Amino acid sequence: MSKVLIVVDMQNDFIDGSLGTKEAVEIVDNVVAEINKDYDLVICTRDTHHEDYLNTSEGRHLPVVHCQENTEGWQIRKEVAEAVEKKANKLYLNKGTFGSSELVEIMKKYADENPLESITLIGLCTDICVVNNALLLKPSFPEVEMRVIADCCAGVTPESHDAALTTMKMCQIEII
């Protein structure tokens, strides 16, 4: 049975860049430690925007330029990227919005050849991209152990982090 780790948007802009928080900085070592554990596949998502970001729906609601493709802020945090690169099976997925239907399709294809034991999600931001991806994945894998590691995630605020964890728990996603 295969164990998959999904590392959501551990990018510089969300850690100490344009949308960074002290809570995001504080989870970096925990995230690296989790990546170093025994997972059969590690998938890293990257929030990916372009020069027209401020003209998009998201940009009008969150008018802070961030994660523009190929900028320093878009890059996965160095320590995190180094840990991922040591993994035999890894995949990077650029996503243009909070949740990724492409991630669900990738996981379905992977599961066809590798029966799943668990899907673990970690990363940023708990209350936006982590919760969106967890709730997209759960219906496709209702019998697979799905979990989120709380101290490997950070939200926009501590309160919204806690609210997102509660939401996921209510949807039968294990919070560790």
Find out whether 4 and 56 touch, Cβ atoms under 8 Å.
no
Six-digit token string for 73:
């802020």
- Single-letter residue type at 123: G
Taking CA 78 as the corner, what is the angle to CA 163 and CA 71, rounded to the nearest 5 degrees?
85
Query: Count of domains in the chain?
Result: 1
Six-digit token string for 3:
């164990």
Give residue 9's domain range.
2-175
Six-digit token string for 36:
């170093």
Q: Could you tell me the end-to-end alpha-carbon distance of the chain, in angstroms, rounded to an integer?
A: 20
Q: What is the pLDDT of residue 17?
A: 97
Q: What DSSP assignment string belongs to 13-27?
A: HHHTSTT--HHHHHH
Q: What is the pLDDT of residue 91?
A: 97
pLDDT by residue, tens only, the chain of 176 residues: 999 999 999 999 999 999 999 999 999 999 999 999 999 999 999 999 999 999 999 999 999 999 999 999 999 999 999 999 999 999 999 999 999 999 999 999 999 999 999 999 999 999 999 999 999 999 999 999 999 999 999 999 999 999 999 999 999 999 99
Provide the whole-model pTM: 0.97
Q: Which CATH number goes with the domain that contains 39?
A: 3.40.50.850
